[in-house]
Structure 1
Amino acid sequence: MKPLKIAIVGAGPAGLAASLFLTRAGHITDIIERFDSPAPVGSALMLQPTGLTVLETLGLGPAIHATGNRIDRLFGTETTRGRTVLDVRYNALPSGRYGLGVHRAALFDTLYDEVSARRHPIFTGQKIVGVMEEGDRSYLSVEGGERLGPYDLVIDASGARSELAAALPRAPRARNLVYGAFWATLDCPDGLVDQAALTQRYDKASVMIGVLPIGSRKPDMPKQAALFWSLKVADVDEVRRRGLDRWKQTIRGYWPECEPLLEQVTDWEQLTLARYAHRTVKVPYSGRTVFVGDAAHSTSPQLGQGANMALLDVAALAHALASHDTIETALSAYAGARRMHVRLFQLLSLAFTPFYQSDSAALAWIRDRLVATIAKVPPAPQILAAIVSGTLVDPFAAAGLSECDWLRASAPQPS
């Protein structure tokens, strides 16, 4: 395909990664960001083998490993009897896979620094409210009346609240999930938790507390961890009204060892409220506008796949554009390449969520007594490891990727 002029709406991880992939292929990109200063949103995330493979393909593997924390295990117990109800180990598969706990800012910085070093244009303070197609060119409508373009292709990487997706003739319906979560990024003393595990505590399915070690955002910063606590979004105002001390006391009652983290929380402003929704753009393109990441699909964070799916999307889109002669056939190929993987993991996220975030005592009982037992019997450990890794079906070939050599990727880099 001839070099294209491409507008990328949104300077989050998906938009930044898209610019890196596409300029490397010879295309010209403009990144258009609604905020005056591009910045990360949120506390922490898990990079799975899928997302790590995409970053390695971009040459950013060493940089992200330097800031993150290797996770080998997801481990959770219920608070009443200490029964183990979650124990997923990446090494149940023979590939050497692992996850990487990272601050969202570390992922953003890694991509943004590379985009900046390569001098990709980023236009800030421009809120895109629509796309107009005139012949084979597209123009962006900016709030306030300005028009940007022309472009051969528009990539919407603006997130779950995409205005472009909402304006589609068959706009996706969002199913807002009842439970959200408070997140805080805090300094993590040595020995507080297993540094190689995402550790969680549960009381039935209505209480979930977790600690995810996320390494250091910068070399001179202390090691950190993300503390999260799930709650109903409808209860947030009441929790805040009761006061921070009462909220902290609730967590102490379930998990006293979290005190070194809790004592660092002195203001509600340190807590980020994450709200979640399930929505899917059934056909992730319209005309010459294509949707990636949360603009195309979003779901519960229970399997930790969100950022990883977004990175896979942009890799698959770049591969489709490189493999076809026209934009139309490339966008159709992109949709086909991502269809099965996206639908499968959205379904799995929806299926798992009620066992860990719901009002159902029955599902919690099943989880605590049956699921944890079954999970120990082969091939269940291998299947769970593949689900968490994002590789229950192969996501790599359709995106033109070769999976990482995990032993090499995790090896210390020479100074």
Structure 2
Amino acid sequence: MAAPLHIAVCGAGIAGLASSLALSAQGHRITLFDQFEAPRPLGSGLILQPTGLAVLDWLGLGQRIRGLGARIDRLYGKASGSGRVVLDVRYDVLGDERGLAVHRAALFNVLHDAVRAQGIEVETASHVKDLDDNSVILNQDRREGLFDLVVDALGSRSPLIPHAAGPDYRSALGYGAIWASLPWPGAPFDVNALEQRYDRASVMIGVLPIGRQVETAPEQAAFFWSLKAADFEAWRKAGLDQWKHTVLGHWPDCAGLLDTVTDASQMVMARYDHHTLSLPFGRRIVFIGDSAHATSPQLGQGANMALLDVHALAAALKENADLRDALGSYARKRRFHVKLYQGLSRVFTPFYQSDSTLLPMARDHLVSSISRIGPAQKLLARIVSGKFGLPRT
């Protein structure tokens, strides 16, 4: 293991907070930079898969996050017109493991509370703009440093990406989604399932139980509606009544949820792109989470992949005395798994979010039959769990 390093972690999201905890626990000195006056979460609900939960257990945070989230036993979706089942993934074919749906704020709170408890230095109101040798350049050209290593956890649009040793392969995705965190409606929705409805691949509606943001808060649901980013402004101008009428035409059970949406500003637009750093490191810098790789959320792996990056980076630094060797080792540890899931996302996404007519027809007629076959059930569950192609440790 290398001598303790002074490490700048840029970005106080899931990847940044988790890496600060993991690397601080190894004895490294951490300075965490975040652009907000006080660190805060962005986003709604997500599913922590068994892979991500294993990393949180390793960090000592698994018990608390499980107390806040909602256990997910099943991912279930139907075509809104025919009622045909076009998604049915059950975790129980893998044994005792399950997913855990959480509000992003709950995961942030658990990680941020641990960062504060560990006494990690946090520099707020610090917008990272660039690097200059061993220094981090912040807003108003303020410089901080000298750092032995910079961890970029700023996301897919990080200004530090040009410092990567290899090219950035990037393409925008036409479809995103509008979402909101709403009060959990109860029946007829399943508190242990992600439920979705589809019309071809241009309409996707989802309801996900996401538990509580903090222990004393009420239970919530993440509600989302697939939408092209280019159509968001037209959606906003058309007004809520027209949109609600369309949603209810596909899924009448959503009436109670939609009653709690009283202003268009409650629905936040999420835009997606596909990007991959061929080499997720450079001179004294390493990229984790969406800074290193981002894709469609169709397989729900974003936060889990970021947590796996954190575990791999910590292991690489522990196993290698030379920093350059450690960064190369980190990239090798994650390369196959990241490429596999980005490839799977490229394959699956057009069946559920696209303008295609033929692909959703094939989905509607084949998935229901395939998902009842034992080996296919297990394969789908392994893919969703994040374990498919992951080296055994």
Paired residues, number: 392
Give the drift of 1:396. Answer: 5.5
Q: 1:310 aligns with which of 306, 312, 317?
A: 306
Give the drift of 1:169. Answer: 7.0
Q: 1:240 aligns with which of 214, 219, 236?
A: 236
Partner of 2:109: 109
- Whole-angstrom distance in 2 between the partners of 1:168 and 1:217: 35
- Whole-angstrom distance in 2 between the partners of 1:108 and 1:380: 35
SS in 2 for 1:367: helix
- Whole-angstrom distance in 1 between the partners of 2:21 and 2:370: 43
Give the drift of 1:181. Answer: 0.2
Contact residue 50 and residue 395 of structure 1 kept, 8 A? no
Partner of 2:9: 8
SS in 2 for 1:208: strand
- Unaligned 5+ segments in structure 1 are 398-415
Larger mean Cα displacement after TM superposition, 382-391 or 35-44: 35-44
Q: Does residue 1:213 correspond to 2:214, yes or no?
A: no
Give the drift of 1:23. Answer: 0.8
Which whole-Å deviations, capped at 9, do the CAs of 1:225-252 have from their partners, x for residues lacking one? 1000001111111111110111111111
Partner of 1:413: none
SS in 1 for 2:315: helix
Letter of the aligned partner of 2:13 in structure 1?
G
Partner of 1:204: 200
- Whole-angstrom distance in 1 between the partners of 2:346 and 2:173: 10
- Whole-angstrom distance in 2 between the partners of 1:244 and 1:195: 26
Which whole-Å deviations, capped at 9, do the CAs of 1:194-228 have from their partners, x for residues lacking one? 11110000001110000000111123222111000
Partner of 2:319: 323
Larger mean Cα displacement after TM superposition, 146-155 or 368-377: 368-377
Q: Provide closer, same or farther for how the CA distance between residues 292 and 210 of structure 1 changes in structure 2, counting only shifts above 3 A.
A: same
Give the drift of 1:170. Answer: 4.9
TM-score (norm 2): 0.98
- Whole-angstrom distance in 2 between the partners of 1:130 and 1:224: 38
Which whole-Å deviations, capped at 9, do the CAs of 1:131-160 have from their partners, x for residues lacking one? 122xxxx11112312111001100000011
Contact residue 73 and residue 99 of structure 2 kept, 8 A? yes
Larger mean Cα displacement after TM superposition, 216-225 or 49-58: 216-225
Give the drift of 1:361. Answer: 1.0
Letter of the aligned partner of 2:226 in structure 1?
S
Letter of the aligned partner of 1:240 in structure 2?
R
Q: Provide closer, same or farther for how the CA distance between residues 331 and 62 of structure 1 changes in structure 2, counting only shifts above 3 A.
A: same
SS in 2 for 1:228: strand
Partner of 2:57: 56
Q: Structure 1 stretches (4+) deviating beyond 3 angstroms?
A: 166-171
Q: Provide closer, same or farther for how the CA distance between residues 221 and 143 of structure 1 changes in structure 2, counting only shifts above 3 A.
A: closer
Identity percentage of aligned residues? 51
Q: 1:294 aligns with which of 290, 294, 299?
A: 290
Contact residue 203 and residue 226 of structure 2 kept, 8 A? yes
Q: Does residue 1:68 correspond to 2:69, yes or no?
A: yes
Contact residue 164 and residue 277 of structure 2 kept, 8 A? no
Partner of 2:22: 21
Give the drift of 1:190. Answer: 2.2
Contact residue 165 and residue 171 of structure 1 kept, 8 A? no
- Whole-angstrom distance in 1 between the partners of 2:31 and 2:14: 15
Letter of the aligned partner of 1:30 in structure 2?
T
Partner of 2:123: 123
Give the drift of 1:378. Answer: 2.8
Partner of 1:370: 366
Q: Does residue 1:253 correspond to 2:249, yes or no?
A: yes
Q: 1:380 aligns with which of 356, 376, 379?
A: 376
Larger mean Cα displacement after TM superposition, 242-251 or 98-107: 242-251
SS in 2 for 1:386: helix
TM-score (norm 1): 0.92
Partner of 1:159: 155
